[in-house]
Amino acid sequence: MGNSKYLDGLSLEEKNRLSRKLWEIQNHSCFICEEEIDLELSKTNIDHIKPLVNGGKEGEDTFAITHESINKLVLVPENF
User: For the segment 8-61, what is each residue's pLDDT rounded down to a tens digit?
Assistant: 999 999 999 999 999 999 999 999 999 999 999 999 999 999 988 888 899 889
Is the overall model pTM greater than 0.75, yes or no?
A: yes
What integer pLDDT is reported at residue 80 of this predicted model? 46
What integer pLDDT is reported at residue 1 of this predicted model? 46
What integer pLDDT is reported at residue 76 of this predicted model? 54
CATH superfamily of 5-73: His-Me finger endonucleases (3.40.1800.10)
**Confidence category of residue 74, pLDDT binned at 50, 70, 90:** low
Contact 64, 79 (CB under 8 A): no
**Domain residue spans of the chain:** 5-73
What integer pLDDT is reported at residue 22 of this predicted model? 97
Contact 64, 19 (CB under 8 A): no
